[in-house]
Structure 1
Amino acid sequence: MENVSFLKLDQIDLRLLDLLQRDAKMKHKELAAELNLTVTPVYERIKRLERTGVIKKYVALLDGEKIGCELIAFCMVKLEKHSLPNLQVFEKKILNIPEILECFHLAGEYDYILKVVVKDMNAYQEFTVKKLSVIEGVAIIHSSFAMSVLKSTTAYPLGE
């Protein structure tokens, strides 16, 4: 990957990224038609965006309810001590817990917020007791539960 902290993107790059965010399985021919380009420049742009890390990876987005992950919880976690070793231990451990979809290190009252998906409340209790609260240095776990999902997207706004 090229060492690029910020890549200058033109309007075609932004439109291409927008199209790929909406449907990463679009064929190069379809993308070219949408962008009024030929296939070769579209292919070259995509390869450049991948090489520079603008496009990190391609994934399939699943419907959590249809695969048995119906409960969405947001865990606010406070550590006992804000030392670098405590932070590193916590961060290393949570990377290997599959129920945690997202984790953000925060400034404010809590140190981390986690997005957790599980089957139901019993599974959540087991998750907190056996996986989260046993991590060295965890002092407080405050949980909130999603009652419904109003918006869920992975698409970044690209100034359109």
Structure 2
Amino acid sequence: MSKQKIDAIDRRIIAALQDNAHLTTHQLAERVGLSASPCARRVRQLEATGVIKGYVAVVDQVAVGLPVSVFASIKLERQREEQLDRFTEAVARWPEVIDCHLMTGQRDFLLRIVVEDLAAYERFLKDKLTRLDGVASIESSFALSQIKRSHALPIGG
């Protein structure tokens, strides 16, 4: 994907869609100060270039019975490409892992894992994470409460 130049109108479109992806083309156009056709063209272009990757419903994890968030710091035995790839491929298959970041510093990966209770996290650890070859250590931290969660990037607009 080539980097697309984002102008002020694109930023307003992105900000509006991050706030409410259910806006009709007419509502969005009105919000950003365009007519409907050019607004729709810009949205299609942002989608085609991968600036807008998709649209999702933001679900309350407590309301669906997944109140526990665990942050797991993972250190691998070695930081070789094959081991990094094997780890990332495994993590990509696990629905409990909501976020996974390759890190600098003492640990190699930081995972956010969402489960229904402590027993479910223990099963996840025993059945999945600890069985993965190359994992040297796992350090888990449990979130007590969520202060802020946003899916919107600070794009401006």
The TM-score bracket by the shorter chain reads over 0.9
Q: Which residue of the other structure, out of 141, 145, 153, is the alignment partner of 1:144?
A: 141
User: Residue 12 of structure 2 contacts residue 156 of structure 2 at CA under 8 Å; is this kept in 1?
Assistant: no
Structure 2: gaps (5+ residues): none
Q: Which residue of 2 aligns with 1:88?
A: 85
Q: Which residue of the other structure, out of 70, 75, 81, is the alignment partner of 2:72?
A: 75
CA distance in 2, matches of 1:103, 1:33: 37
Matched ranges for 1:111-130 at <5 A: 111-130=108-127
> Deviation string for 1:54-83 (max 9, x for gaps)?
001111111000111100000000011111
Q: Partner amino acid for 1:33?
A: E
Q: Does 1:28 align with 2:13?
A: no
TM superposition score normalised by structure 2: 0.97
Helix, strand or coil for the counterpart of 2:62?
helix
Q: Does 1:133 align with 2:130?
A: yes
CA distance in 2, matches of 1:136, 1:23: 42
TM superposition score normalised by structure 1: 0.95
User: Residue 46 of structure 2 contacts residue 52 of structure 2 at CA under 8 Å; is this kept in 1?
Assistant: yes
Q: Which has the higher contact order (CA 8 A, sep 6+)?
A: 2
CA RMSD of aligned residues (A): 0.9
CA distance in 2, matches of 1:114, 1:127: 13
- CA drift of 1:159 comes to 3.4
Q: Which residue of 2 aligns with 1:61?
A: 58
CA distance in 2, matches of 1:68, 1:17: 31
- CA drift of 1:38 comes to 1.1
Percentage of matched positions with identical amino acids: 37
Structure 1: gaps (5+ residues): none
Aligned residues between the structures:
157
Q: Which residue of 1 aligns with 2:15?
A: 18
